[in-house]
Structure 1
């Protein structure tokens, strides 16, 4: 039987390049104390021999796994899937691989078994990419200070002593509502996401801020609660107009619900934007193809994931190098208003 070629080792690379093993190691780790011509020569040999460094060996030598744990949920949805894409990009840039664990019920507060399983894999840090829903963050008060690795939390209410990366949802609600008022609409309603979600409550607070600034009361019958689905957006629009027939614009807390709201107005014979202005939230790729194209608030979920990994990587490296303790901080990403046809302006009053 023909024997397969043995695996190329770092010693083989050093011999072929005419340098020491330590020089090859410095090249692999992109150290800046290697002469440019030596660096280029070693890289060419690595490519010619098709040498792939052993990550297991590197882990043993450096006492780390080069693995980040990611606790997430709902990858079938736009936001979570884009966030994971950003996490993967950020991890790849820093030389980490990911260990992904999914929660089937994001509102579940019993995270002990899942957390134990992730830590048992010897990860260097964790990105907690599950949104804050109800009491699903209660465990943090007991566990956060005892965790053996750093954790960065996404999409949750900022808290002292925790590293949090989130979009400015309150600011997003404010700019969406302010835009509708500036476009000439007078009675701006709101279809919220499920109010157990912290993000949904923040968007509602932003809507309230804009109305208050304009001297308009935020009356309870201007608000209908949805569940993020298009069906709930359709139901919500019908209910909102039943409660307040004078509503002439609606901020809808995600684009899926806005799609349902557009379906409702078509059935009712209400014209958008002449009779009713609409602004959604997320800027999903399909929103530009809605009829009419949907004005929306863009949140960069890819950047959210990348930013979380950068912050986590910084904390891991600072801890390993024995530097001063990295103080946890909140990073608030700025949303962007995307204006399309659905909010171009109210019909002039006669």
Structure 2
């Protein structure tokens, strides 16, 4: 039996009564195609079983149809969930991903990653690397000279840059406000690395909530972890050693909260009767812990999708030099999820 010949873009164009360029625009989800034409072309594509050739698609569109993504920390819940949102949104829009993972966030490593992205002819870059200390200053400056658009994920929004982020300060504030509303007056904090923007913002929210109610934001009641369960366990031991009378703790992510709960139990504290606890992220295991973990939910899928949609919108715009307007990008708002660990359900 003779092999079935591959359907070409010209055959689709002929059947649909349009040009090959119009078919390409439909495939690439360009906005300059009428709804009627788009529907007709898609119907022909489905009927003929047309599968676009990656090379032909790139030649016709003048685009690699590839988004470069630099990601730190896929072993952690937050970065992994955000990446899933990026992957799904890119797939829905017809883009492939060129992914580079990094555990380092130095300037030299970052420059090498950008060079790798550009050598693979990506159409744009999503930079999903934590902002820590001064490590983002160079990339923020370099962004304005890159030949492709770049969108930053989970860093401090700045005028003139494209950023997708969750409002971590608000998350820290509503977590602490919830504990205070339960009647707790001695509220500690297990923070992430405070050189990181996200961790510092969650601490800032903790401070604001306590000061707003006249309670002390005691710096000796702040212990840093590194986002891992083990660091959460060690931090809780240190916190209880410093403040045996602590009543409640805001833990800056749920993975550290796992370790914090273990340490509290080992120290003879029953949650929430002796010690209330609230986390941040709403990991999938949170409702199944004993007791179920109160937490702050951030819509990480929406965050990843927002980054993709923001980047794709730049491909067809005049803003190819990565200069956003002077308004700071709006941040996604987190949500309080109340379960038993914070003492709200008895």
- Tell me how far 1:58 sits from its aligned partner: 2.9
Alpha-carbon distance in 2 for matches of 1:78, 1:26: 36
C-alpha distance in structure 2 between counterparts of 1:231 and 1:192, whole Å: 13
Structure 1 gap segments, 5+ residues each: none
SS at structure 2 position matched to 1:148: coil
Measured in 2, the distance between the counterparts of 1:306 and 1:69 equals 14
Q: CA deviation at 1:332?
A: 0.5
- Aligned partners of 1:297, 1:94: CA distance in 2, in Å? 30
- What is the alpha-carbon distance in structure 2 between the residues aligned to residue 90 and residue 18 of structure 1? 28
CA distance in 2, matches of 1:18, 1:308: 34
CA change 1:199–1:13 in 2 (3 A) is closer
CA distance in 1 between partners of 2:149 and 2:236 (Å): 43
| Distance of 1:127 and 1:27 partners within structure 2 | 24
Structure 1 stretch displaced more, 184-193 or 263-272 = 263-272
Partner of 1:327: 325
Out of 274-283 and 325-334, give the one that drifted further: 325-334
Q: Structure 1 residues 221 and 25 mapped into 2: Cα distance closer, same or farther (>3 Å)?
A: closer
1:296 aligns with 2:295: yes
What corresponds to 2:278 in structure 1? 279
- Contact 1:274/1:345 (CA < 8 Å) preserved in 2? no
**Greater Rg, structure 1 or structure 2?**
1
Classify the secondary structure of the residue corresponding to 2:296: strand
Structure-2 residue corresponding to 1:233: 232
RMSD over equivalenced CA pairs, Å: 2.6
Corresponding residue of 1:248: 247
Distance 2:33 2:172 in 1: 47
Match of 1:146 in 2: 145
Picking from 107, 110, 115, the partner of 1:109 is 107
- Distance (whole Å) between structure 2 residues aligned to residue 61 and residue 346 of structure 1: 60
Distance, in Å, in 1 between the alignment partners of 2:307 and 2:288 is 31
1:189 equivalent in structure 2: 188
1:90 correspondence with 2:89: yes
SS in 1 for 2:171: helix
Alpha-carbon distance, 1:205 to partner:
0.5
Distance in 2 between residues matched to 1:228 and 1:113, nearest whole Å: 26
Q: Is the 8 A contact 2:159 2:325 kept in 1?
A: no
Q: TM-score, normalised by structure 1?
A: 0.89
Unaligned runs of 5+ in 2: none
1:126-165 matches, cutoff 5 A: 126-165=125-164
2-structure distance, mates of 1:175, 1:18:
55
Do the aligned partners of residues 152 and 95 (structure 1) sit closer, same or farther apart at CA in structure 2, a change above 3 Å counting? same
- Runs of 4+ with deviation above 6 angstroms: none
How far residue 269 of structure 1 moved from its aligned partner, in angstroms, is 1.9
Q: What is the TM-score when the length of structure 2 is the normalising length?
A: 0.90
For residues 238-292 of structure 1, what are the alpha-carbon distances to aligned partners after superposition, in whole Å with 9 as ceiling and x for unaligned? 2111111121000001111111111112112212111111000110001111110
Contact conserved, 1:164 with 1:330, CA < 8 A, in 2?
yes
CA distance 1:51–1:266, change in 2 (3 Å):
same
**Partner residue, 2:123:** 124
Distance 1:33 1:229, change over 3 A: closer
Cα contact 1:277–1:345 (8 A) shared by 2: no
